[in-house]
Amino acid sequence: MITVDQVSVDLDGRRVVQQVSFEAGPGEVVGVVGPNGSGKSTLLRAMIGIIPPAAGSVRIDGRDVATTKPRDRARALAAVLQDSTGDFDLTVRDVVMMGRACYKRAFERDNFRDRTVVAEALAAVGASELARRRFAFLSGGERQRVLIARAIAQEPSVLIMDEPTNHLDPRHQFDVLALPRKLGVTAVIALHDLNLAAHYCDQIHVLDHGRQYRSGTPGEVFSPDMLAEVYGVTAAVTSHPVTGRPHIVLDPS
């Protein structure tokens, strides 16, 4: 269970997230959507403790993230952020193995359990064949999948991902967004692709200028009036012919 309770965040003397609240039960997938600059990434950084909230709190099973020891926090919460694609001079396997650090003492060697978890994490994102490659020489999509594997290797109960489908082809987008349910973890995911959000998320929270504009199920949230007011676009919201989920058709004109 992750609880975001009246979280506000200030950056450079300006409030960029204002009193956002929601709760996700075990195994739920939560989507955070909104236009550029709406506060999605800032909210996620506050949720994982990178940015301290100016007000409110984030709790996992009742424990405040801000006061939890880093090692304990890393075991409960893993994140994949937009700007975390550094040029590591390491193999892919070594990058994913970094996710096991929260289970080790200083200078402790990798054990059978670590190697098994890393192999399973790479397989989960379809990157087993990349294990011996140098991370720095991978394509953007390959790097993204490896960083997701590193987060999975932490074996978290909560997974937070900021635009995880960036650089990915459609098949890998589907595979990555299906991972939370496959792994049985609670997930909070910021997405720009509203149709992907409608298909994979149990609940949606729309941010607009840092405020929580609308919250609910995809069917409750996605509507032509919301898309016009928040995104400034004309759109029709229909039912997907296969899944029955809301399907958004934008009018480019």
CA distance 176 to 198: 15
| Structure tokens given for 201 | 């998320």
pLDDT tens for the chain, residues 1 to 253: 999 999 999 999 999 999 999 999 999 999 999 999 999 999 999 999 999 999 999 999 999 999 999 999 999 999 999 866 566 789 999 999 999 999 998 888 989 999 999 999 999 999 999 999 999 999 999 999 999 999 999 999 999 999 999 889 999 999 999 999 999 999 999 999 999 999 999 999 999 999 999 999 999 999 999 999 999 999 999 999 999 999 999 999 8
Both structure tokens of 9: 């965040």
Give the whole-angstrom CA distance, residue 23 versus residue 8. Answer: 16
pTM (2 d.p.): 0.94
CA dihedral 50, 79, 44, 62 (to 10 degrees): -80
- CATH code reported for the domain at 2-217: 3.40.50.300
**Tokens linked to 42:** 């800032």
How far is the C-alpha of 142 from the C-alpha of 130, rounded, in Å?
A: 8
Distance CA 66, CA 68 (A): 6
To the nearest 10°, report the CA torsion of 58, 63, 69, 73.
-70
Per-domain boundaries in the chain: 2-217
CA gap 102, 11 in Å, rounded: 29
